[in-house]
Chain A
Amino acid sequence: MRYQPSLTPLVLAVGLSLAACSDLLVENPKGFTTTDTFFKTGADLNSGTLAIYSAARGFQGQSNWTTPELASDQTRADNREPNAGTYGPDRLSWSAASGRATVPFGTHYAVITEANLVLAKGPGIQTSDTLTKAYNLAEAKFLRGYAYLRLTKMYDGVPLLLTPEEQANPSPTRATVEAVHQAVIKDLIEAKAGLPAVWSGDDGYGNPTQGRVTKGAAEMALADLYLWRSSFMGKNEWQLASDWADSVIASGLWSLNDDYIKTFLPSNKGNSEEILVITNSGVVDRTSNIFQLFYYPRDWGLDAGQGGGWGLIHPTNWFLNSYLPGDYRGSRGFEGYKTDSAYVAGGCGLTICADTLGDGPMPYKYRKSDNGATWWLGDVDVPLYRHAEALLIYAEAQNELGNTGVAVQYLNMIRARARKGTGAQARTEPHDYGTAGEAMDKLSVRDAIFMERAWEFAFEAKRWFDLVRRDSEEPGYWKNSLIAHDPSFDQTPPNPKPLPDEYKKRWPIPQAQIDANPALCQNPGYGGTPCPPGVTVP
């Protein structure tokens, strides 16, 4: 070519720029890390462990929380609530394709995924802080086991995936309930062995530890598991339920607060009654939560066009009227946000007053520290296991084992605390069970324990599971309770409501998940492929 001399520098320039450019195509993100670059140090492992807790914050989300709440006979949706997505759980109007009952499936696998990642990466991490590393692995086991336990309580058997490699399988099938429970037991027992009874103030990496799981939480989860297996599955493992509850009680680390309400107050975080909680800081919206808005009166919130409540979850009339007169846990205040009662029935919000709330009294045990002045300051910790439940599981197990007297003794501990009212009161109700001529037979005491659970754990998303598991012991209990107590199933003429569908005791595997993985079978009543024996509880 004639122009070769002139072309040489050009060729050189292009060549040089090429050499400099080829790295441009490799992505080096600055704003986040990747699984390949993370999990190198003990601090990374601890951060990955906290990510499991972060995923578990989903347990307080609207679908996970309000589905069992509203579906039970204890609560109903606000009559002014216009959205089907919100009142749907109250009417059990969910299907595999829509509704809130499908959502928890994914929430729990998010927890399991983070836990599996920690358990896969953790053992290979070299760190001088072997104590925290051991705790982290135990925390991951607890949270994984607890998530699987919760899944079985909603869906029965689910895919049992215990490593990232197993999770990579795009078409896992549902394991039997028994297989999942054995994995849960293994996780929880190992977690109990590895977890501290009490955390020191610092996790070794400068973070406070309130809200981290403990040995007591693992024991509670085991008690809960055996309670479920014994009642819902008819396994008669009451002794194990009793033993694990007793180990919580006997540890001496946990106790009842004098003031029932104080257990839930943000000013009393980390109190000795809270064995397992989801902690909400209230600092900003990323670790505060809308949870409280479900319960804050709509009259002073949404309907007033200002911060405060959605007023979603009301007590049913049956439940509101079920308290023994004078029970602090059923007290109704008319002083608005200044009330010191467990329910608020009127009075003044921050700027708006309403003598009576438009759709009846609202629960008032979850109180933000700003009393509803803003909608964003969500700093109430959400209780998952409380010491009171250890006592009542123990009471129930003892009753089923035939030790009715012991059962009543533990039941009355709960009542005795309630009589203390705001702390130093000496109320007459609820009186000790048995002192007013109540029957002391097993069935009556069982009834009393279940009612006590309803009062004590009101609005703690436990009642639905109590209805479901007792239905196995006393067929029809679930349906009859809903019909008798919940206006959604009111049979009063002239417009009787449709009866609850029996199959809805079990929630549906989300249709979207079956679409993505047709190897998943479906629970009875929701269509789809039936499951092999053992996957669902007959």
Chain B
Amino acid sequence: MRFLIPFAGLLVAATAPVRSQQAAAASPLDRTVTLSLEGVPLKDALDAVARQSGVRIAYSGRVVPLNRPVSVELAAVRVEAALDALLHGTGVASTLDGTGQILLVTDRSVGRARQQTGSIAGTVRDSTTGAPVVDAMVTLVGTALTAKTGADGRFTITGVPAGSYRIRVRMLGYTAALVGVTVQDGEQAVADVQLARSAIELNPVVAIGYGAADRRNLTGAVSSVSAEQFETKAAPTVTLSSGLQGKVAGVQVTSNSGMPGVGIQVRVRGTGSITANTEPLYVIDGLPAEQGSNDTDPKNNPLMSVDPNEIESIDILKDASATAIYGARGANGVVLITTKRGRTGTSQFTVESSVGFQNIAKTIPVLNAPQFMQLSNEAYLNAGGAPASVPFSAAQIGSAVTYNYPAMMLRTGLQTNQAVSLSGGDQKLRYLISGNFTRQQGIEIGSDFNRYSVRLNLDGDASSRFRWGSSLSMTRVARNAARVENGSLGNSANGIQAAMQFAPFQAPKDSAGNWIKTSPSTEPVPNPIANALEETDLNTTSRLLGSVFGELALSPSLKLKGTLGGNFQFDGIHYFAPRTILDGGNSGSGWMYTSQGRNLTSENTITYARPLGPGNLDLLGGFSVQTWYDESVTATAAGFPTDFTNVYNLGSGSQLYPPASGVSEHALISYLGRANYNVADKYLFTLTGRRDGSSVFGANHKWGFFPSGAFAWRVGDEQFMRGQSLFSDLKLRLSYGTVGNQAVNPYQSLSQLSVGWVASGATEIPAMTLSSRMPNPDLHWEQKTEFNAGLDGAVLDNRVAFSLDIYRSKTKDLLLLMNVPVTTGYSQQLQNVGSIQNNGVELSLTTTNISRPDLNWRSTLTLSHNGNKVLDLGTRPDTSGKPVPITQFTVTPRTGNFFDAGDVYLVRVGEPLGAIYGYQVTGLWQKGDTGAACYLTNKADCTPGEYKVADLNGDGKITAADRTILGNSQPKFYGGFSNTVTYGRFSLDALFNFVYGNKVINAGNAYGCLDIMQANERTCVLDHWDSTHTNTMVPRPNRDRARALYSTFVEDGSYLRLQTLTLGYDLPPGLLFGGAVAARVYVTGQNLVTITGYSGFDPDVNSQGGDPRYGLIDIGAYPRSRVWNFGVRATF
């Protein structure tokens, strides 16, 4: 039996169950008890001893300080020893009276006993490598005395009364060790400890929002990623969110492209919304810092400005029970980021430095000059052009020189990371100061990513009742992205796609050394080399994120905590196109954008814990106010006397554009509460509720309430499980609840008037015009209801640990922009209509494959499936005004006019979001074929070599009505497989990612393999149809072919990737330099092998970013690089 008092917000460590020791004990004092208590009132501790041992303990409240907090860690010790430990320093001793009852009386011997004390010192080392273990917690069992090891692994505990003790040493990732030691008065006892790496850490502490909990006591679905996964192994992980990829079950991470600092989508348990935001809420050190944004602009991703080295842990709240504490913002999941903090002990100084280089992982060949010219001629002739006026003469083709634009666009990119941190402190004040600098050159010229940040985290105990802390970080990110990221095709192509389209016979500069501005092809693609080298597109984000808190313990069981936080963000864009390139016109053009935002938070919570009936009750109540303010200003000018001044003298332009500015404000007021009831540590109940009031909603619906409940049953701790040896741990979790999605822009419910303009002569006059959005006073939250069932367990003596979750969620009252008749004066209205469903299974499996002193191999597999389905899209009236369900609507991508028809995505009831909608190609027309439905240009008869498009509605014509769903971008499953092998001082980490069963529009091919030859294309067109080569799916060259989305350009996006591979070596003491106590060198490779059938650069791509209605599309996105990184990390 075991007894345990959990306390919200405080760590309650677990101990292994100790059983069947009670029966044989003769004297009550010889009975054993097991206690694991931290900061609980003495009275509660005494009650626990009494209950476990069955003895009665009598005392007077005037003698015994019953409210004194005590912390003990006792495993199966005698009652007498336990009482000694609990009463240490109180001046109270225990004595047994004649009835078998224990009396607590004033100890007359205290004065003598305290006259002299000794101390304990020692070093904690890794049992395998012998390296010092830093930050290990050393506890003198049965006392409140603790210490932490310093950088050299040493610890000292002073003021120890003489006697025999056991010290307990704990460290995450190691098995706790118990060592006996005897202390003599006035002497220092030595206790060196070896810690063995533990098989699997089953019970780490996880953040759950407004508190923390032992994982064993969790009732909700929470996934965690620990610091070690973000440290040296992932050093090339410039942005944190890509470091999450594959590591967490149920969390799908997709990047827009391979550009440094690119936008990333994080979807927790599928897509729960159609047009509102689907990104999770990010909470950094307890501060709800930012809702992620569907906007592709990476500056809206708060993770971009957090250095992975600063992270202690990331906990992801997934089910409604876990996220309900964040109420209206919980529907997309919550990512809790905890940064590292200082710990008591000697100060520790860590330096890390790495350098790496990166290259393109895969290239796609394009046509050379003669091939391009030849095919252009054929395309012209096949389109009915006159033979006399073909674009290129035989002489031109014969003398053509090829310029390899893609190669000119690419380079080897260098990257460097530097980080230092200093941490330490004592009980009064603990500190962590860190700084880091990351610089990454992109593999496309003109692109780079720079980040520097500093952090100061402080914690202090002002008294035994009041503790405080602060977190403060400052970050600046600067990205250069001079038209290297491609979001478009044809004339508007950028970066590598433009390079692949540029006429290969044309030198980038003319004979006078001036840039050729556009490609001399039918599609006048702008010169990507000139753009990348000459254009300025500098994006900066500076963020100041800070919070302070104070916590007052009114009693050991009742605490008040107040937190004030601020998140200040400053964004800037410098854009300048000089006259030497197309965008610069004849005399340059540029603009400067600057914005500042602040987000202020005040959160106040009260926690209370007490035994109740058969169990223990923890209560949390809180009140929170959060306000946001954003303003921005843009200045634009053109026609400069010189390009030299760039954007720094916009006033010198001869064309001055009107300045633009804007402001946006909103507020959220919340009441929150959570009750945990723990019965016998086996039956765990959680009730959570939050009531949110948000300014962004309609006057009639400002407030929403989001309740949830959960139950967990620690089956493994039941009596009936003792007989079996398969499961070493087993827990069942069930939860149900409702959370909200409030992500709409402010002011949507108001009847807005904005400035329209009229002219009179050369004068401009502003006029107040109606907005096209119809106001909606009834606008309110999307509401997601989710059921979750989970099973956590471990088998084979903890060598295999698993966590399995199944969930079913339904989001209703979706925020959808609905068309309204223009006769109303408006075109659209944001309404709450429709619903969507997500069902899924998540598995996380951790195994210890080999566990020997010299060789250790552990693996973690995450596997997730999410089935998404649109259930309802609202209604529209029929001719009699009766509402009829809307069954589908099509969606045009942001840069949509390339395809004809442009709406290549479909949202349909019964289908998942992300459906790709286009023409089914069944083959190519061959000679002798007949049929009216030829191809989309509506030629009268069929031409061999053209696409044979399925006439799905059978009307004999190929029209937009013949389009069908060509695939879906949601994967059937995805996940990751990570391995850690340690052999002596070597360690090897390998992370594989995989995605299976999703479809991607390869729009790069839809241009580059369409064989229209309006600009350069990829070498796939060499396989085109002709009368002697008919067994192909590449049509004949034809300049007039409609640029529609054919099924040939929808590809399987499945892949298996060796995402990172890290080899590390811990230097032996003899090799340590400069006074270092530990040092590690490592080499990391990233994106080393990708197994995929996808023909573009990389299947992990989403050129158009975040909008959940969109399928995945690859518009010749910035290619992913292969990275090699070399680093060293030393601790002093």
Complex Cα distance, B693 from A282, in Å, reads 47
The distance from the CB of B636 to the nearest CB of chain A, in whole angstroms, is: 9
Q: For window 793-824 of chain B, which residues contact chain A by CB distance below 8 Å? A: 819-824
Q: Does the CB pair A208–B695 fall under 8 Å?
A: no
Q: Which of A36, A170, A207, A520 contacts B751 (CB 8 A)?
A: A36
**Is B763 an interface residue when CB atoms closer than 8 A count as contact?**
yes
Complex Cα distance, B876 from A83, in Å, reads 33
The distance from the CB of A93 to the nearest CB of chain B, in whole angstroms, is: 9
The distance from the CB of B705 to the nearest CB of chain A, in whole angstroms, is: 15
Q: Does the CB pair B669–A54 fall under 8 Å?
A: no
**Is B97 an interface residue when CB atoms closer than 8 A count as contact?**
no
Complex Cα distance, B1014 from A286, in Å, reads 33
Q: Does the CB pair A105–B526 fall under 8 Å?
A: no
Q: Which of A32, A83, A171, A207 contacts B765 (CB 8 A)?
A: A207
- Which residues in A have their C-beta under 8 angstroms from that of B116? none
Complex Cα distance, B655 from A282, in Å, reads 11
Q: For window 1016-1065 of chain B, which residues contact chain A by CB distance below 8 Å? A: none
**Is B644 an interface residue when CB atoms closer than 8 A count as contact?**
no
The distance from the CB of B873 to the nearest CB of chain A, in whole angstroms, is: 12
Given the known A-B contacts A27-B750, A110-B825, are A305 and B517 also in contact in the complex, defined by CB atoms under 8 Å?
Answer: yes
Q: Does the CB pair B761–A376 fall under 8 Å?
A: no
Q: For window 940-963 of chain B, which residues contact chain A by CB distance below 8 Å? A: 960
| Interface range, B side | 35 or more
Q: Does the CB pair B767–A281 fall under 8 Å?
A: no
Q: Does the CB pair B764–A284 fall under 8 Å?
A: yes
Q: Does the CB pair B702–A25 fall under 8 Å?
A: yes
Complex Cα distance, B767 from A117, in Å, reads 13
Q: Does the CB pair A55–B695 fall under 8 Å?
A: no
Q: Which of A17, A18, A283 contacts B762 (CB 8 A)?
A: A283
Given the known A-B contacts A25-B693, A85-B897, A518-B876, are A513 and B760 also in contact in the complex, defined by CB atoms under 8 Å?
Answer: no
Q: Does the CB pair A47–B768 fall under 8 Å?
A: yes
Complex Cα distance, B23 from A420, in Å, reads 125
**Is B426 an interface residue when CB atoms closer than 8 A count as contact?**
no
- Which residues in B have their C-beta under 8 angstroms from that of A30? 663, 665
Given the known A-B contacts A307-B586, A516-B876, are A54 and B767 also in contact in the complex, defined by CB atoms under 8 Å?
Answer: yes
| Interface range, A side | 35 or more
Q: Which of B522, B655, B825 contacts A164 (CB 8 A)?
A: B825
Q: For window 420-436 of chain A, which residues contact chain B by CB distance below 8 Å? A: none
Q: Does the CB pair A376–B526 fall under 8 Å?
A: no
**Shortest Cβ distance from B699 into A: residue:** A26
**Is B694 an interface residue when CB atoms closer than 8 A count as contact?**
yes
Q: Mark A152-182, 1 if CB is under 8 A from B, else 0.
A: 0000000101001001111110000000000
**Is A44 an interface residue when CB atoms closer than 8 A count as contact?**
yes
- Which residues in A have their C-beta under 8 angstroms from that of B612? none
- Which residues in B have their C-beta under 8 angstroms from that of A376? 655
Complex Cα distance, B662 from A44, in Å, reads 22
**Shortest Cβ distance from A106 into B: residue:** B822
Complex Cα distance, B768 from A38, in Å, reads 9
- Which residues in A have their C-beta under 8 angstroms from that of B824? 113, 167-170
Q: For window 648-683 of chain B, which residues contact chain A by CB distance below 8 Å? A: 655-658, 661-667, 669
- Which residues in A have their C-beta under 8 angstroms from that of B1091? none
- Which residues in B have their C-beta under 8 angstroms from that of A207? 760, 763, 765
Complex Cα distance, B825 from A106, in Å, reads 9
**Is B749 an interface residue when CB atoms closer than 8 A count as contact?**
yes
**Is A444 an interface residue when CB atoms closer than 8 A count as contact?**
no
**Is B104 an interface residue when CB atoms closer than 8 A count as contact?**
no
Complex Cα distance, B901 from A253, in Å, reads 50
- Which residues in A have their C-beta under 8 angstroms from that of B823? 109, 159, 161, 167, 169, 172, 513, 517
- Which residues in B have their C-beta under 8 angstroms from that of A282? 762
Q: Does the CB pair A287–B759 fall under 8 Å?
A: yes
**Shortest Cβ distance from B639 into A: residue:** A374
**Is A251 an interface residue when CB atoms closer than 8 A count as contact?**
no
Q: Does the CB pair B768–A48 fall under 8 Å?
A: yes
Complex Cα distance, B710 from A534, in Å, reads 66
Kindly specify which of A2-10, A124-132, A235-243 makes contact with the partner chain: A2-10
**Is A250 an interface residue when CB atoms closer than 8 A count as contact?**
no
Complex Cα distance, B897 from A2, in Å, reads 70
- Which residues in B have their C-beta under 8 angstroms from that of A12? none
Complex Cα distance, B758 from A207, in Å, reads 11
The distance from the CB of A488 to the nearest CB of chain B, in whole angstroms, is: 13
Q: Does the CB pair A281–B759 fall under 8 Å?
A: yes
Q: For window 749-801 of chain B, which residues contact chain A by CB distance below 8 Å? A: 749-770
- Which 7 residue pairs spanning A and B have beta carbons closest together? A113-B825, A54-B756, A50-B767, A281-B759, A305-B518, A24-B667, A287-B759
Given contacts A30-B665, A36-B751, A159-B823, 14 further A-B contacts (CB under 8 A): A3-B555, A13-B604, A17-B625, A21-B667, A44-B768, A48-B768, A51-B769, A208-B763, A212-B760, A305-B517, A305-B518, A306-B582, A518-B877, A519-B879
- The chain B residues found within 8 Å of chain A, CB to CB, are 517-518, 522, 524, 526, 554-555, 558, 560, 582, 585-586, 602, 604, 606, 623, 625, 627, 638, 655-658, 661-667, 669, 693-696, 702, 746-747, 749-770, 819-825, 827, 876-879, 881, 897, 900-901, 960, 1014
27 A-B pairs whose Cβ atoms sit less than 8 Å apart in the complex = A14-B604, A17-B602, A25-B667, A25-B695, A27-B665, A27-B749, A32-B754, A34-B750, A35-B751, A47-B767, A51-B767, A51-B768, A83-B897, A97-B960, A106-B827, A109-B822, A110-B825, A167-B825, A169-B824, A211-B759, A285-B657, A287-B758, A306-B586, A307-B585, A376-B655, A515-B819, A518-B876
- The chain A residues found within 8 Å of chain B, CB to CB, are 2-3, 6-7, 10, 13-14, 17-18, 21-22, 24-36, 38, 44, 47-51, 53-55, 57, 82-85, 97-98, 105-106, 109-110, 112-114, 116-117, 159, 161, 164, 167-172, 207-212, 269-270, 279-288, 302-303, 305-307, 350-351, 373-374, 376, 379, 512-513, 515-520, 529
